[in-house]
Amino acid sequence: MSSKSMPPGFNSVRRDRLLQEPTQDTYRTKGKLPQPATCPQCGSVFSDGRWHAGAAPKEAHRHTCPACHRINDDYPAGFVSLGGAFFAAHRDEIISLVRNEERSQHAEHPLKRIMAIIDQNGTVLVTTTDVHLARSIGDAVHHAYQGELEFHYKPDEHLLRVHWER
């Protein structure tokens, strides 16, 4: 639409500046926490506006981190389903890759954790505290072993389901 055909009172919209409506994640910390703060369950430290690994000062406030809150409520943000004949033959190797991906992600982002690894009739379901960890696990398994990879995201629930099969 050119500026000449634009109705009065409207401005042109730049695609690189569109505002995205934020997703409503119940487990995201509301407001600012007193700094420094530490999670009494996992020991993660909140300072400089984010959670990170490290030693907490003695005077740190105690506040449960969003990942521990999800774990306590048993409410995962990510579900990764792994299955197929190839998976059954290489199960231990693929589960090792999944755990290595979690360690890699957790080193930089301590809120990214695997909640559980559950065997279900020949498939394995991995639940995570973060949608990005579920995505990176799916990508890592697909990169290493190919196969079929699907993502199903529900933004209104801040939930990702990943399905990999080979």
Q: Which of 70, 119, 63 is nearest to 91 (CA)?
A: 119
Domains of the chain, residue spans: 72-165
E strand or H helix that includes residue 128: strand 123-128
Please name the residue ranges forming H helices in the chain.
Answer: 66-73, 85-89, 91-108, 131-145
DSSP symbols for 59-72: TPEE---HHHHHHH
What is the spatial distance between Cα 42 and Cα 54, in angstroms, rounded to a whole number?
11
Of 103, 101, 92, 100, nearest in space to 134 by CA:
101
Closest CA to 140 of 84, 99, 109, 107: 99
Top-level class of domain 72-165: alpha beta
- pLDDT tens digits for the chain (166 residues)? 444 444 454 444 444 554 454 556 677 766 777 788 999 999 999 988 888 888 888 888 999 999 999 999 999 999 999 999 999 999 999 999 999 999 999 989 999 999 999 999 889 999 999 999 999 999 999 999 999 999 998 877 788 999 999 9
Which pLDDT score is estimated for 47? 86
Question: What are the CB-based long-range contacts (under 8 Å, 24+) for 53-62?
Answer: 53/107, 53/110, 60/36, 61/33, 61/34, 61/35, 61/36, 61/37, 62/37, 62/38
Phi, psi (deg, nearest 5) at residue 132: -70, -35
Coil/strand/helix, residue 100? helix
Measured CA to CA, the distance from residue 19 to residue 26 in angstroms comes to 21
Q: Which residues pair with 161 in a beta bridge?
A: 79, 152
